[in-house]
Amino acid sequence: EEIDEILKEIDEKLAEKQFSIGRYYQKTGNKESAYHYYRMVIGDWPDSKAAEKAKQMMGAKGPPRNLHDEKVEK
């Protein structure tokens, strides 16, 4: 059980680190890279707190799959 707790804590930290990278890209205006990291967090650590935050950052439905087709926000 102790090992499971340690592994869960490590996963949470890894997910949070990747989420933070996504936030950096979003804050610097690189939405495509931000969404890449958010999708990574959701896919690799779906039960993490960071995955919930990533889903919120992407919106309920998430971004379009092909971000190059996305309309530019004004």
Per-residue pLDDT of the chain (74 residues; tens, 9 = 90+): 999 999 999 999 999 999 999 999 999 999 999 999 999 999 999 999 999 999 999 985 455 454 444 444 43
Domain count, the chain: 1
For residue 74, is it within any domain? no
Rounded to whole angstroms, the Cα distance separating 53 from 43 reads: 13
For residue 32, is it within any domain? yes
- Return the structure tokens found at 52: 């919930």
For residue 31, is it within any domain? yes
For residue 72, is it within any domain? no
For residue 70, is it within any domain? no
0.85 exceeded by the pTM?
A: no
Category of 72 on φ-ψ map: left (φ > 0), alpha (ψ -120 to 50) or beta: beta
Rounded to whole angstroms, the Cα distance separating 29 from 9 reads: 30
Can you give the residue range of the structural domain that contains 11?
Answer: 2-59
- Return the structure tokens found at 43: 């896919």
